[in-house]
Amino acid sequence: MKNSWIEVDTAGLSANIRALREAVRPETAVIFVVKSDAYGHGITPIAKHAASEGVRWFGVAHPFEAEAIRAQLPDVNILIMGVIRPEVAPVVAEQRFTPIIVSAEHGRAVAQVATAAGHTVQAHLKVDTGMGRIGVGWPEAVETFRALQGVEGLKVTGVCSHFATVEPKQPERAETQVERFLAASREMESIHGGPLFKHISSSRAILYHPEWDLDAVRPGICLYGYGATDQEMRFHTKPFLQWKCSVMQVKSVPAGTSIGYYGTHVTDAPTRMAVLSAGYADGYHRALSNRGHVIIRGRRCRVIGRVSMNWITVDVGPDSGIEAGDEAVLIGRQGSESVWAGELAKICRTIPYEMLVSIDRGADRKYQRSQSS
Ligand SMILES: Cc1ncc(COP(=O)(O)O)c(C=O)c1O
């Protein structure tokens, strides 16, 4: 038994997928981004469950993630959104993955290795329209597409891009990216002599801009239940991953007790403190020292002292009745209290993505359908 564990409510994932599916036109494919172990939720069970809800496309960063999905789901489409090394081209073709191509040289190198192994890779051209990261720069995109036409071993069947920022109050930057993308795509389609599979929107764009859905959308964080709560958004989702550990020891301490490394907390009144079975080695960020909250017996308890490698210390109050063996919720809900990754991320000056992917991949995982959903 591990010291911390994750509970995933698959009914919550179903509800999120349905909310998105109802908002997006049926012709638009949903490419569910399940990279980085499905944002810490567990790639295989999440992809299998999403497939049972009708998701036919998955987005990953690396070929090993694509292989994990393919082993379970022989018929789905898998977009590899990272830059593949040419030597993996035969596996990519055999397993029917869809990689992105990021330059003419990259495309030719992938094609050459694929051809030598008797394969053809079907790929999407990634256009950097302003993100400043992966992809062929938008001014060269059309020429790159043209150069890759007729190259043996490679068929470019789609074109995609990624937003740097989607801010409804300052839409100009995203609009510029869309204009560049659509202008380049139009030219590519005329070279190609027919439609290409076009996609650009991840969660924030999907939530605010139906006009940018195109042939597919690539939701990640919103399907995990984060960032999709504002009134004006097209649909709303809720988190469904809980992270828990155990109360290891509870003890009474008098006023003036120094707690943990460097004594950064000193009790100002007699209370009871609890030691929990997780720490920063498990992904509970050290920046939560003296600032985070956990829930035990439905009660919010403040983290006191430094979070250490394997332990968290919390103030449970003088008469809560909390005792060793109780469950402590690090992320999740108990009774009327909740602590979600967004709250912890704010304290740590980061984003829920990082909180979620930081959770120990080795933590035990339970997948179950909640009765209430
Ligand atoms: C290329 C690409 N598309 C889509 C996504 C999903 O983004 P989000 O989780 O914000 O929806 C990501 C995530 O980083 C990405 O890198």
In the chain, where are the structural domains located?
A: 10-224, 241-339
Q: Which tokens go with 182?
A: 């659509």
Please list every protein residue whose CB sits less than 6 Å from any atom of ligand 1.
33, 59, 81, 162, 202-203, 218-222
Question: Mapping DSSP to helix (H, G, I), strand (E, B) and coil, where does residue 60 land?
Answer: strand
Element (H, E) at 123: strand 121-128
pLDDT in tens, 260-319: 999 999 999 999 999 999 999 999 999 999 999 999 999 999 999 999 999 999 999 999
Residue 371 pLDDT > 90: no
How far away, in angstroms, is 201 Cα from ligand 1 center? 8
Q: Which tokens go with 324?
A: 């060793």
How far away, in angstroms, is 46 Cα from ligand 1 center? 16
Phi/psi at 157 (5° precision):
-110, -10
pLDDT in tens, 121-131: 999 999 999 99
Architecture, CATH, for domain 10-224: Alpha-Beta Barrel (3.20)
Predicted confidence at residue 2, as pLDDT, reads 81
Query: Average pLDDT, stretch 171-185?
Result: 97
CATH of domain 241-339: 2.40.37.10
CA distance 269 to 282: 31
Cα torsion angle, 43, 45, 46, 47, sign: positive
Query: Average pLDDT, stretch 98-111?
Result: 98
pLDDT in tens, 187-234: 999 999 999 999 999 999 999 999 999 999 999 999 999 999 999 999
- CA-nearest of 228, 186, 172 to 204 is 228
How far away, in angstroms, is 21 Cα from ligand 1 center? 18
pLDDT in tens, 113-152: 999 999 999 999 999 999 999 999 999 999 999 999 999 9
Residue 345 pLDDT class (50, 70, 90 cuts): very high
Residue 370 pLDDT class (50, 70, 90 cuts): confident
Q: Which atom of ligand 1 is nearest to the CA of 81?
A: 1
Instruction: List the residue whose alpha carbon is closest to atom 14 of ligand 1.
Output: 220
Q: Which atom of ligand 1 is nearest to the CA of 353?
A: 9
**Residue corresponding to tokens 């997006």:** 24
- Other Cβ atoms closer than 10 A to 169: 4
Q: What is the pTM of this model?
A: 0.97
35 among known catalytic residues = yes
Across 43-79, b (16+ Cβ under 10 Å) vs e yields: bbbbbbbbbebebebbbbebbebbbbbbeebeebbbb
Residue 372 pLDDT class (50, 70, 90 cuts): low
2 among known catalytic residues = no
Contact 207, 234 (CB under 8 A): yes
Fold identical between 10-224 and 241-339?
no
Q: Which of 218, 223, 237, 353 to mutate to test the pocket of ligand 1 (most atoms within 8 A of CB)?
A: 218
Q: Which of 32, 41, 81 to mutate to test the pocket of ligand 1 (most atoms within 8 A of CB)?
A: 81
pLDDT in tens, 27-55: 999 999 999 999 999 999 999 999 999 99
Query: Which of 35, 126, 198, 244 is flagged as catalytic?
Result: 35
Cα torsion angle, 344, 360, 223, 237, sign: negative
Q: What's the chain's average pLDDT?
A: 97
- CA-nearest of 1, 24, 2, 13 to 240 is 13
Residues 6+ apart with CB under 8 A from 109: 86
Element (H, E) at 110: helix 104-116
How far away, in angstroms, is 72 Cα from ligand 1 center? 23
Residues 6+ apart with CB under 8 A from 279: 307, 308, 309, 310, 311, 312
Query: Which of 48, 226, 261, 353 is flagged as catalytic?
Result: 261
